[in-house]
Amino acid sequence: MGKLQRVKIVDRIDITDQLAVFRMNPENPLQFRPGQCATLAVEDGEKFIYRPYSIASAPDEEILEFFIELVEDGQLTPRLWQMRSGDSLWMRTRAMGVFKLDTARKKHYFFATVTGVAPFLSMLRHEQKHRQGNSFKLIHGASHSADFGVYLEQLHALAREGWLEYIPTVSRPTIDIEWKGEKGRVDDVIRKYCDQWGYDDVTFYLCGHPGMVRNGAAILLRTGLAKDRIRQEEYFQQAEE
């Protein structure tokens, strides 16, 4: 198929009805840098439907991992939601995207909503395997704690190694009454934590819901930060329409 190759689903973890982790094995290894996307595709008659998804796995892992949200009126994810382990779809043979780690600095602050944590997972897993002296802060927001899924404990485990500080925050605590952690949307707590952590010699990254990305970037810019110290990746549900 030229620029396409087959990729098989080897594992699926349903987090909620609308969130799932898909682990896939491509025919040939995909070369990518942490933070980049893979473009998945499904056949639609004589054409293909393509959508890019951030890769959560590290580049030297054999299996590609994706944290994906169902878009109920979309074209690709409803088909993906019908698939199980052993099913296959298509993937472009080249990764894409410029949302990568700033190698000029060693301190990095990550801000993510739900599935927007995927590129940061790739960066953190790569750092864990190839320690390069970087330190990270991650604020990860969701409506409910269930939305964090398997990544809540995985990220807490990385934080216990000492080079990552992980702050999960829930925006609907009145519904999630068992939640004992931080409360509020990501953009509600950005200044609170950044003021504690400091702003010097740091690169800032925002990924996920467009509202959080834009509001968060505006909050950071109002502190006097230069634009080139802020990197952004928006996830649009409209892209599925």
> Model confidence over 9-44: pLDDT tens digits?
999 999 999 999 999 999 999 999 999 999 999 999
How would residue 154 be classed by pLDDT, with cut points 50, 70 and 90?
very high
Mean pLDDT, residues 57-67:
97
pTM: 0.95
Reported as a single tens digit per residue, the pLDDT across 80-105 is 999 999 999 999 999 999 999 999 99
Paired strand residues for 207: 112, 233
Q: Are strands 37-44 and 135-142 parallel, antiparallel or unpaired?
A: unpaired
Q: Which domains does the chain have, with CATH numbers?
A: 4-92 (2.40.30.10), 107-240 (3.40.50.80)
Report whether pLDDT(2) > 80.
no
For residue range 171-191, what is the model confidence (pLDDT) as tens digits?
A: 998 888 889 999 999 999 999
- Output the CA–CA distances (angstroms, integers) from residue 124 to 41, 120, 217, in the order listed: 27, 6, 22
Helix (H) or strand (E) holding 77: helix 77-80
